[in-house]
Amino acid sequence: MAKDLVSTLADLKEQEALKIVEERLSGGEEPLKILDDARKAMEVVGKRFASSEYFMPDLVYSGEILKAITDMVKPKLSKEGEIKRLGKVVFGTVAGDIHDIGKDIVVFMLDVNGFEVYDLGVDVPAQKFVEKIKESGAPIVGLSGFLALAFDSMKQTIEAIQAAGLRDKVKVMIGGGQMSEEVRKYTGADAYGMDAMAGVSLAKKWVGAG
């Protein structure tokens, strides 16, 4: 019998995991069930990251294996499976800053913890955040920035959200290289996080799931 996909993927055994998926697909199994196992495995990966058992290389590698699995399964999917999400989050690295490593980790962790994340990328103008908040109705906004110059961009982004009349509809978290209560106050954010798990806890608290 084929080994368990959840534990194989969670243990980052790339070749074995892909082989299991191939066998299950050729055995005619429902593709959605395979994706569901993969999702469960990523939850385990997220938990291991949160407990410092896994680190960045392990996250990156798990994402890579997941992508390969999704590529194999997707063509066989009849329709996209509906996954219940905790809530929507608009996320991006603020204007003038092109750093993405930290942002990508938080987006990854929010995703595996059940949030629907709109990742706007890097060097995102304030107006783009505003538009995405309007369009998606997301109640949570995450602003990332590595450079100290990002403090000003975060401040301006939050001011733009305010000017668009959306400030009381969203909670804003900031994170990145150099964060503190002083920076939070300066930018006008609701909270700051020192690592990806802090971001997840904040998001869960804000949607009442924490």
Partner 1 sequence: MEKKWEEMSSDEKQEELFQRWISPEGVEFASPEAEKLYKERATRIKDAIQMKKLPDRVPVFLIPSFAPAYYSGLTPHDVMYNYDKIMPAWQKFYMDFQPDAHGGAFVPSPGKFVDILDFKLYKWPGHGVSPETTYQCIEGEYMRADEYDLLIHNSLHFFNYIWPARVFGALEPLQALPPLAGLTEIYGVSLSFIPYGTPPVKAAYQALLEAGDEAVKWIGAVGPFYPVMAASGFPPYQVGATKAPFDVIGDTLRGTRGIMLDMYRQPDKLIQAMETLVPMFIQIGVGAAQQSGCPLIFMPLHKGADGFLSDEQFKKFYWPTLKKVIMGLVDEGVVPFVWAEGGYNSRLEAIRDLPKGKTAWLFDLTDMAKAKKALEGIACVGGNMPMDLLSVGTTEDAKAHAKKCIDTCGKGGGYIMANGAFFDKVKFENLKAIVDFVKEYGVYK
Binding positions for partner 1, rule: CB under 8 A: 12, 14, 52, 54-58, 60-61, 64, 96-101, 123, 147-149, 151-152, 177-180, 182-183, 185-186, 195
Query: What is the identity of the amino acid at 5?
Result: L
CB of 90 to partner 1, least distance (A): 22
CB of 145 to partner 1, least distance (A): 11
Which residue, 115 or 151, is less far from partner 1 as judged by CB?
A: 151
CB of 105 to partner 1, least distance (A): 9
| Rounded distance between C-alpha atoms, residue 141 and residue 162, angstroms | 13
Residue 152 CA from chain centroid, whole number = 24
Which residue, 113 or 153, is less far from partner 1 as judged by CB?
A: 153
CB of 69 to partner 1, least distance (A): 16
| 68-72 contacts, C-beta under 8 A, 24 or more apart | 68/14, 68/18, 69/9, 69/17, 69/18, 69/21, 69/34, 69/35, 69/38, 70/35, 70/38, 72/18, 72/21, 72/22, 72/25
Which residue, 24 or 99, is less far from partner 1 as judged by CB?
A: 99
